[in-house]
Structure formats: C-alpha cells, structure tokens
C-alpha cells in the first residue's frame, strides 16, 4: 500500500489533543467532530461503544448514550467510511428487568437498513472467564463483534492460525484406488491439507488486568477491549498506511495497535483525562515520536 502524503490535511484542526506523523487524537464529542470529516475518508473503524450505560466513565460528565444519539453517530460513521471500508463494532447488552435489551441487534439493523451497510459478518468475542455469575441462566462470556462493510470489503487479510486436525491428509480422506486384485492402493494426486487453516469467526481472548492490556496505565479506563482483539481486526481489514478511526478511543488501544502495524490512526475521546492517559501510554513506548 502506497504511503499517503499529507494525510492529515483533510481532517479538522480544531480540538486536537495531540498528534504525530502517524495519528491524531481529538478531545471532542465524536458526532460534532465527525460532521467536519470529509466523505469517504476512513478505511477502517475499530471501536466499542458504551453498552447500555453499563459503566460510568467519568463523574464529571453526564455521559448519556441512547439510541437516538447512536443513530446520529452511525450516520456519520457510514458517511466518512470509504467504499469497501469496514466498521468493527464490538458491543454487548445489559439485562434489565430479566431481559437482555437487544440494543446490539437494533444497532446492527440500523447500520444495515438505514445506513445501507452490509452486515458482512457477526463475530463473537469469547472471554476466557466471566465476572458476574447468574443463578438462573448460563454464565455470559461473550460479546458481539459486528463487521459492517460499505459494499464488498476492499481488504481481507485472513489470519491463518487454526491448527488443522487433519493436516497432512486430503479434504476427502485418503485418496485410494482399487487394484485389479481387489487391494487398495494410495494415490498422492490430491491437495494435502496444510498444518494451519483460516480462523473461525469466534475469537477467544484472555481479559482482565494483566491479560487484555500490556500497559498498566490502560486500566485507568474502566472498560478496555484486549490489545490482541484490536490488532487482529486491524490486520484483517486494512493494509499498511490505511487510516483507522476509533470514535471512542478510551485508553488508546486502537491507536497503539495501529502504530505497531504501520497504519495511520484517528482517535476521538470526549474525556480530557482519558486523552491524557492515551498520550502517556503512547509516550511510554515512544510509539508516536
């Protein structure tokens, strides 16, 4: 992929918390800021929105997240996405009055029916453990990873790390033929199954402190997704020097993984304290200098 020259020029200069040659962090409301972004300017979005207000992100901010606000954001994300671009939307549901809210499904259908994006895949982020055991239902250990595409995805770099059970064999068992005398002989003209195959769409990660993040400072944010999850999606759906956006930048996980994989990144974070965490996190590794 050709390196983009002066890639930052097309994006607004207001509310930049800090920036480098590889990325921009905005301290802003994401909807208001995205309205200033040009159409079809983003290759990939990797993000995780608030889950039905399950977490209080900052006592100084009345962080209301409801479906009406979601709709405004979804329209803007769809507009700035390039044709063939991907939105990775990691989301879960709260349980209220004995029922899961179904917010994740409503959001997915809104992206499809109103924003005209394809639900390219419904993936699962399986957690290695659970934190809230239930007395009358099975333990909840997963979240959805909806993969939305604007038309046919322009990039797919499949991760080949699934150990094939039948490696060394063919896809139809042994290739045999019956001799004239009735004995079986083996032929070797069929393709042999390789040691590793393409991943399934259920991805399992260790979560929790000391597992999901390599940087302790990241845990100053109350809700992080694993670094490896961000890394795996970034390398799957984008190429080097593509522009990756996270409109809920949080602790900066997406930014860090973009830098490690040679992608440009844009983060939007409304909380100034979290912007400071992101900057300290990246400075620690001198990733953006």
pLDDT 10s digits, 29-80: 999 999 999 999 999 999 999 988 654 545 544 456 899 999 999 999 999 9
| 1 assigned to some structural domain | no
- Whether 140 and 85 map to the same domain: the answer is yes
Is the predicted pLDDT of residue 244 greater than 90, yes or no? Answer: yes
CA pseudo-torsion sign 258, 260, 263, 264:
positive
- Whether 50 and 153 map to the same domain: the answer is yes
pLDDT score at 108: 98
How sure is the predictor about 121, in pLDDT bands with cuts at 50, 70 and 90? very high
Q: Which residue is associated with the tokens 């962080």?
A: 63
- Whether 119 and 16 map to the same domain: the answer is yes
Total of domains in the chain: 2
pLDDT score at 215: 53
- Whether 193 and 220 map to the same domain: the answer is no
- For residue 244, give the 3-state DSSP assignment: strand
The model's pTM: 0.89
- Whether 56 and 155 map to the same domain: the answer is yes
| Domain enclosing residue 18, as ranges | 7-159+199-284
Is the predicted pLDDT of residue 105 greater than 90, yes or no? Answer: yes
pLDDT score at 150: 98
pLDDT score at 165: 85
What percent of the chain has pLDDT above 70? 84
- Whether 27 and 118 map to the same domain: the answer is yes
- For residue 228, give the 3-state DSSP assignment: helix
Round to whole Å and give the CA distance between 237 and 147: 10
- Whether 139 and 262 map to the same domain: the answer is yes
Q: What is the pLDDT of residues 247-256, one digit of tens each?
A: 999 999 999 9
pLDDT score at 61: 44
Q: Which of 165, 118, 125, 159 is CA-nearest to residue 145?
A: 125
Mean pLDDT over each residue of the chain, to the nearest integer: 87
Long-range interactions of 233-237: CB distance < 8 A, separation 24+: 233/44, 233/46, 233/88, 233/145, 234/44, 234/46, 234/258, 234/261, 234/263, 235/157, 235/159, 235/261, 236/156, 236/157, 236/158, 236/159, 237/44, 237/86, 237/88, 237/147, 237/153, 237/155, 237/156, 237/157
Element (H, E) at 49: none
- Whether 47 and 178 map to the same domain: the answer is no
Calculate mean pLDDT across residues 102-118: 98
- Whether 103 and 193 map to the same domain: the answer is no
- Whether 75 and 47 map to the same domain: the answer is yes
Is the predicted pLDDT of residue 110 greater than 80, yes or no? Answer: yes
Q: Are strands 81-91 and 264-269 parallel, antiparallel or unpaired?
A: unpaired
Please, are residues 236 and 159 in contact by the beta-carbon 8 Å criterion?
Answer: yes
Higher pLDDT: 121 or 182? It is 121
| 2 assigned to some structural domain | no
Q: Are strands 184-186 and 196-198 parallel, antiparallel or unpaired?
A: unpaired
Round to whole Å and give the CA distance between 212 and 208: 6
Q: What is the CATH number of the domain that holds 209?
A: 3.40.50.150
Residue 45, beta-bridge partner list: 87, 245
Is the predicted pLDDT of residue 265 greater than 70, yes or no? Answer: yes
Q: How far is CA 54 from CA 64, 102, 147, 187, 258, in A?
A: 11, 14, 23, 59, 27
Is the predicted pLDDT of residue 185 greater than 80, yes or no? Answer: no
Two tokens, residue 100: 């899961």
Report the first-to-last Cα separation within the chain, whole angstroms: 22
Is the predicted pLDDT of residue 267 greater than 90, yes or no? Answer: yes
Calculate mean pLDDT across residues 260-277: 96
Round to whole Å and give the CA distance between 279 and 220: 13
Q: Are strands 176-178 and 142-149 parallel, antiparallel or unpaired?
A: unpaired
- For residue 185, give the 3-state DSSP assignment: strand
| 289 assigned to some structural domain | no
Q: What is the pLDDT of residues 187-224, one digit of tens each?
A: 665 577 889 999 999 999 987 665 556 655 544 444 57
pLDDT score at 178: 74
Please, are residues 213 and 256 in contact by the beta-carbon 8 Å criterion?
Answer: no
Cα-based angle 43, 40, 63 (whole degrees, multiple of 5)? 80
Is the predicted pLDDT of residue 117 greater than 70, yes or no? Answer: yes
């Amino acid at each position: 992929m050709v390196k983009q020259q002066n890639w930052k020029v097309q994006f607004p200069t207001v509310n930049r918390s800090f920036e480098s040659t590889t990325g921009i962090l905005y301290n802003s409301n994401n909807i208001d800021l995205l309205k200033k972004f040009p159409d079809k300017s983003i290759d990939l979005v990797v993000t995780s929105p608030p889950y039905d207000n399950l977490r209080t992100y900052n006592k100084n901010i009345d962080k209301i997240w409801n479906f009406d606000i979601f709709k405004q954001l979804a329209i803007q994300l769809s507009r700035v996405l390039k044709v063939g671009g991907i939105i990775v939307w990691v989301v879960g549901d709260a349980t209220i009055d004995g029922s899961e809210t179904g917010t994740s499904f409503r959001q997915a259908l809104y992206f499809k029916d109103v924003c005209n994006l394809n639900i390219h895949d419904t993936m699962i982020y399986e957690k290695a453990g659970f934190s809230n055991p239930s007395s009358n239902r099975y333990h909840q250990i997963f979240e959805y990873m909806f993969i939305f595409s604007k038309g046919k995805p322009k990039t797919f770099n499949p991760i080949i790390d699934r150990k094939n059970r039948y490696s060394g064999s063919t896809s139809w068992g042994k290739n045999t033929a019956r001799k004239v005398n009735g004995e079986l002989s083996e032929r070797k003209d069929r393709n042999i199954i390789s040691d590793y195959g393409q991943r399934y769409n259920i991805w399992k990660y260790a979560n929790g402190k000391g597992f999901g993040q390599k940087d302790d400072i990241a845990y100053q944010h109350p809700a992080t997704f694993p670094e490896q999850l961000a890394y795996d999606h970034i390398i799957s759906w984008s190429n080097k020097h593509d522009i990756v956006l996270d409109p809920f930048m949080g602790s900066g996980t997406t930014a860090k993984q973009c830098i490690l994989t040679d992608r440009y990144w844009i983060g939007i974070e409304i909380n100034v304290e979290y912007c400071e965490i992101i900057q300290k996190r990246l400075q620690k590794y001198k990733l953006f200098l």
